[in-house]
Structure 1
Amino acid sequence: MKAIQPIRRDHLKSMDMHDKGITTAAVCVYPSRVADAAKALKAANSSLPVASVATGFPAGQTHLKTRLEEVRLAVADGASEIDIVINRTLALTGHWEALYDEIRQFREACGEAHMKTILAVGELANFTNVYKASLVSMMAGSDFIKTSTGKESVNATYPVAIVMVRAIRDYFLRTGHKVGFKPAGGIRTAQESVVWLALMKEELGDEWLSPHLFRLGASSLLADIERQIYHHVTGRYPAYQELPMA
């Protein structure tokens, strides 16, 4: 319900934004809760997509058959977006073809579902690995590449983001195919989100400022956005307990 109505309606109304259809881009759950989320959204007459993490999130260290079946089950239960994690061992040991083959199998298991590939950049050791992992993920059919699971000690950072978005730009210039970008983990303030928007505009252009090509991991961020809107409307900041699910 928070994903469907992330900001208080009376506050949106005071800014004449109540009829703009503001929601989150998706609601992300573990595979075992996809059916519950899909049922709840259907009951609320909402078309909000259900996204599910899969492939042994966050470590990705289960058997390949298990990871593939997890994707298939999430899609069967109603997930229209799947967030996979790459096998970092393959990236760190330079087995790029094997990594491509795994991601390609995940792409096939997703079917029509939108696939975001999480690189877990904090575990890839250097920028070269980040760049190569970005290209391999895109070549294997990813709709988005995503920085982090949010569980690593280092998550979304600007230097790594520049490497990833320039890989997206290089891939687009070579193929004409647009791939989306999602920074996630450690983005906590509305002010930071503006910097990420500026980075996308400068590096990839205005087309990448829309939800079909740019997302922000908003687990922590949403509460601050809501606080800033609250302050804009009322002239004061709320305590966190005044915000639902903050």
Structure 2
Amino acid sequence: MTQLSKPFDQSILKKVHINKNYVEAQVDQILKNNLVKSQDNINAWLLQAVKLIDLTTLSGDDTKSCVIRLCQKAANPLDDKLVKALKHENRITTAAVCVYPSRVKDVCSTLNRIPEIGKEIQVAAVATGFPSGLYPLQTRLAEIGLTVQDGATEIDVVIDRSLVLMGKWEQLYNEIAQMRKACGTAHLKVILGVGELGSYENIYKASMIAMMAGADFIKTSTGKETVNATLPVGLVMCRAIRKYYQMTGFKVGLKPAGGIKTAQDAVNWLILVYTELGQEWLSPKLFRIGASSLLDVIEKDLKKYL
């Protein structure tokens, strides 16, 4: 179920003060208090991480054959012998395949040819002038419409970060609300570009505005910024999600993307989300990891442990 836009409420932006050192200390404490020591538990966390990956390719040289291989990997992310050795009974796929709009038709046609499993994998696409977002709103909305028309079930939109930096919150809300409408029944994932927002306060406020405007997920980064997904940023966004849930009763998802390179990185993110938001958020409906190389790293680590 997709979320509808809520009326703009300026009051949620007042009295937002975040102590950077305190946030970073809290992250350290969360990880320290939730160490995963058993190898079986580590393997279980890593298998769960695989199911939460939006397997992504956003290169300038993406071709149809590249996308076909990505879809096949999404449908069979781990070697069958490895899955059996780990005593996992259910079939494993990644949560989604994420591409540029021009490659959406290739994803849809490939997944449709994979019996049973293909329909379980979401078709995600970046849109709205990715990665900068600095394009006319009219063309960004048109891009969403065309991408949904081509078969995308999830749209990862990128905001105009200048609106955050200039404090133009209502304009930001209006733009995202129009993007929500353009998505129709497709899920809206709003990329904040946290590395370019200037402060934790801005990240929190942008998170709240995005959710108020109808985001089904809030996403850290495009993966193209100098600073992408970090755990302190994740904690700030989790707190915003929790606050929004307390206000509205609607559960919004989280998607960290960019900079998640190791198996331990993936486990740390799962621990953070589990601690802050609870077990229910550790499902593809409410948590995703945007990644391209992480899957191969996890597979190698699992093989090494076995």
Please indicate the TM-score interval, normalised by the length of the shorter structure. over 0.9
**Which range moves more in the overlay, 112-121 or 19-28?**
19-28
**Per chain length, whose mean CA-contact separation is higher, i.e. which structure has more relative contact order (CA < 8 Å, sep 6+)?**
2
Match of 1:194 among 263, 267, 283: 267
Unaligned runs of 5+ in 1: 234-246
Instruction: Check if 1:178 corresponds to 2:248.
Output: no
Q: SS where residue 207 of structure 1 aligns?
A: helix
Cα offsets for 1:109-166 (capped at 9, x unmatched): 0000011000000000001110110000000000000000000000011111111110
Instruction: Check if 1:79 corresponds to 2:79.
Output: no
Instruction: Check if 1:14 corresponds to 2:85.
Output: yes
Deviation at 1:61, TM superposition (A): 1.0
In the alignment, what sits opposite 1:43? 113
Deviation at 1:39, TM superposition (A): 0.4
In the aligned structure 2, how far is the partner of 1:218 from the partner of 1:92?
Answer: 27
In the aligned structure 2, how far is the partner of 1:194 from the partner of 1:227?
Answer: 15
In the alignment, what sits opposite 1:130? 203
Match of 2:131 among 41, 58, 72: 58
In the aligned structure 1, how far is the partner of 2:73 from the partner of 2:143?
Answer: 26
**Root mean square deviation of aligned Cα:** 1.0
Matches within 5 A, 1:141-156: 141-156=214-229
In the alignment, what sits opposite 1:244? none
In the aligned structure 1, how far is the partner of 2:194 from the partner of 2:262?
Answer: 21
In the aligned structure 2, how far is the partner of 1:60 from the partner of 1:202?
Answer: 33
TM-score, length basis structure 1: 0.92
Unaligned runs of 5+ in 2: 1-71
In the alignment, what sits opposite 1:33? 103
Corresponding letter in the other structure for 2:73: K
Q: Identity rate of aligned residues, in percent?
A: 59
Corresponding letter in the other structure for 2:74: A
In the aligned structure 1, how far is the partner of 2:128 from the partner of 2:91?
Answer: 32
Deviation at 1:20, TM superposition (A): 1.2
In the aligned structure 2, how far is the partner of 1:84 from the partner of 1:167?
Answer: 19
Corresponding letter in the other structure for 2:97: V
TM-score, length basis structure 2: 0.74
Q: SS where residue 227 of structure 1 aligns?
A: helix
Deviation at 1:37, TM superposition (A): 0.7
Cα offsets for 1:179-222 (capped at 9, x unmatched): 00011100011111111111111111111111111111221211
Deviation at 1:5, TM superposition (A): 0.7
Q: Provide the aligned length of Structure 1 versus Structure 2.
A: 232
Instruction: Check if 1:23 corresponds to 2:93.
Output: yes
Q: SS where residue 16 of structure 1 aligns?
A: coil
In the aligned structure 2, how far is the partner of 1:99 from the partner of 1:16?
Answer: 48
In the aligned structure 2, how far is the partner of 1:178 from the partner of 1:155?
Answer: 23
Corresponding letter in the other structure for 1:211: P
In the aligned structure 1, how far is the partner of 2:99 from the partner of 2:270?
Answer: 25
